[in-house]
Amino acid sequence: MIIVCQKPLKKLKINGIALFPFIFIRKPEDKENKILVNHEKIHLRQQVEMLVIFFYIFYIIEYYYWVFKLKDSHSAYRRISFEREAYANESDLNYLKKRTFWNFKKYL
């Protein structure tokens, strides 16, 4: 389910976020943004595969590992394996149909 949530996401400076089982987006018109929605659906699949809670734990650990190593929060965010998989495949709208289980491991 996609939910428009403008004010909180504007403060976070993000266009969308997947928090199982929802996709929250900032702008109502982004409901039609197939690439953004696909990116977030990839995250939902990752969350299910990792039983949701382990996704968030691993995401935070990986993020802080990269922040410590790179000394840059945006670069750290882009190095997270979950984000690397989602960004690499967000334009392929059939990706989730052919994606293998725990495919994010290829991006570690």
User: Residue 26 corresponds to which tokens in the numbers above?
Assistant: 């900032």
Residues 6+ apart with CB under 8 A from 69: 76
**What pTM value is reported for the model?**
0.94
pLDDT band at residue 5, thresholds of 50, 70 and 90? confident
What pLDDT, on a 0 to 100 scale, did the predictor assign at position 78? 97
pLDDT over 90 at 83, yes or no: yes
What pLDDT, on a 0 to 100 scale, did the predictor assign at position 8? 81
Mean pLDDT of 33-51: 98
Q: Using alpha carbons, list the distances in angstroms from residue 49 to 44, 57, 107.
A: 9, 13, 16
Taking all residues of the chain, what is their mean pLDDT, rounded to a whole number?
A: 95
Residue pair 96/47 in contact by the 8 Å Cβ criterion: no
What is the C-alpha to C-alpha distance for residues 29 and 58, in angstroms, rounded to an integer? 31
What is the C-alpha to C-alpha distance for residues 42 and 24, in angstroms, rounded to an integer? 14
Mean pLDDT of 32-56: 98
Strand partners, 100: none
What pLDDT, on a 0 to 100 scale, did the predictor assign at position 9? 80
